[in-house]
Amino acid sequence: MRLILLSLYHMEDTNKINFTKEDTVLIVNGDLDGKGVHELEAVMDADKRYTLDFNGVSSVSFSGMRALMNCHRNGRRFFIINACDNVMEMFEDTGVSSFLSVCRKPKSLDISKYEEFGGGYLSKSFNSADGDSMLKFYGSRIPAEMVYQEKNVAKKVFLFGIPTPMVGSLRAVDGSYAIDFERIEGKRSLSRVIADEPGRLEEIAVKFATMCKELHSTQCDVNVFEDRTIAYRNAVCRCNGLSEDGKNRILACIVSVPKATTCLHGDMQLSNIITNGEEFLWIDLGDFGYGNPMFDLGMWFFLSMLNSEERADQIFHINKAALAKVWRIFAREYFGADTEDKQAESIRKVEPFAALHMIYLGSNYGFEPGMLDFAKSKLL
């Protein structure tokens, strides 16, 4: 009888929702069915990623979940936030949450019960009192959509089998957001290992290159993860410092890059692998996707060779000279650049991708002095 009633409800779908659109955020209210999803899909552009805020959604019918999956298959890029417990159970019970990015509404957290122990460029880290979890706390300058994205992508990367800590709940903390992660006892980033033990620089640089090559040789699930070129194209289109002609020329360069469906970290650098001496795990996976490895390599070259001394110390805890040495060893192991000429050739290959990453960072977080001019000089 229960199955029959559910089928009748499916057949009698009517539009029971309303929504408002604020740029790439769709705030949805009501009971979501298939017709409602079709209305949402009609206002979503294929080249943008959308946030569907389900804070006002009380239920999602089977036809609604089917339509959301079809919307995803049709090339629409979105993730769902603020799902209530009832809606989240629907997604989990049907298995739809294995295909779509869905986050339940975050619960409040008293951060005073956690102990701060470090942080990165955009976040701070706290340990729980029992030592079992680590809280990654994002400041107010980080939009909620970015935090939701990292939580969702990190979970999918873990399930995909990439070595990474387990991800827990999303938390609301004093108007900002945080994510609970599995705490790896005794962990240090690769850059911190070099800072603490300079004599291990060569060993760590070789290990880093090996892990990057392994990642870049792993076929990605293109039905789950995103093509990273989309993020770069969108960043170029948003860049106010480029003329329309300049944007078109750079977009043409991106299109000309040979296609690949292997894994990309999206923020590949020494600080984003941690180790406890036994395991080596990737972290900070919000931009994980697939594409040509040169996009990752450009990111790493930018951070290791084109950053300021102050930023090198802030991110890696080592100076630029040590980072340059790490890059040379990395290029030797990754590209086979075992001569000065081959080292120079590896730099010529990655510089345009480093410049492209500067535009990506600048469009998202603001350009630092000289960054855009350098990018233009390498791409135009």
- Any idea what the CATH number is for the domain that residue 299 is in? 3.90.1200.10
Based on the domain organization, do 29 and 65 belong to the same domain? yes
Contact 109, 178 (CB under 8 A): yes
Quick one: 364 and 268 in the same domain?
yes
| 92 and 160 belong to one structural domain | no
Q: Which two tokens stand for residue 206?
A: 């070789």
Torsion of CA 99, 101, 106, 112, to 10 degrees: 110
- State which of 83, 104, 125 marks the end of a domain: 104
**171 and 268, same domain (yes or no):** no
Q: How many domains is the chain built from?
A: 3
Q: What is the pLDDT of residue 141?
A: 67
Select from 258, 254, 264 the least CA-distant residue to 222: 264
Indicate whether this model's pTM tops 0.95.
no
Examine the domain organization and report whether 144 and 274 are in the same domain. no
Q: Is 66 in contact with 98 (CB distance < 8 Å)?
A: no
Do 210 and 322 have their domain in common? Answer: yes
Q: Are residues 253 and 348 in the same domain?
A: yes
Q: Cα(17)–Cα(11) distance, rounded to whole angstroms?
A: 17
Instruction: Choose among 73, 63, 54: nearest CA to 6.
Output: 63
- CATH number of the domain that 33 lies in? 3.30.750.24
Q: Is there a single domain that holds both residue 83 and residue 178?
A: no
Using 50 as the pLDDT threshold, list the residues of the chain that sit under it: 1-14
Pick the last residue of a domain from 121, 154, 182: 182
Q: Which of 236, 350, 229 is nearest to 290 (CA)?
A: 229
Same domain, 160 and 47: no
Instruction: Answer yes or no: are the C-beta atoms of 34 and 15 closer than 8 Å.
Output: no
| Residue where a domain stops, chosen among 39, 74, 104 | 104
- Integer distance in angstroms from the first to the last C-alpha of the chain? 67
Q: Residue 69: is it exposed, middle or buried by C-beta count within 10 angstroms (0-12/13-18/19+)?
A: middle
362/257 same-domain check: yes
d(CA 281, CA 85): 31
Question: What is the predicted pLDDT for the residue at 121?
Answer: 65
Range of the domain at 51: 2-104
Q: Where are the beta strands (DSSP E) in the chain?
A: 16-22, 25-32, 49-60, 77-83, 102-104, 107-108, 115-119, 123-127, 133-138, 167-173, 176-182, 188-189, 226-227, 263-264, 273-275, 280-282, 289-290
Q: How far apart are CA 215 and CA 6, in angstroms?
A: 44
CATH classification of the domain holding 150: 3.30.200.20
Please indicate, yes or no, whether residues 12 and 36 belong to a single structural domain of this protein.
yes
Q: What is the dihedral of CA 129, 130, 132, 133, to 10 degrees?
A: -20
pLDDT score of 174: 79
CA 153 to chain centre: 6
Are residue 316 and residue 371 in the same domain, yes or no?
Answer: yes
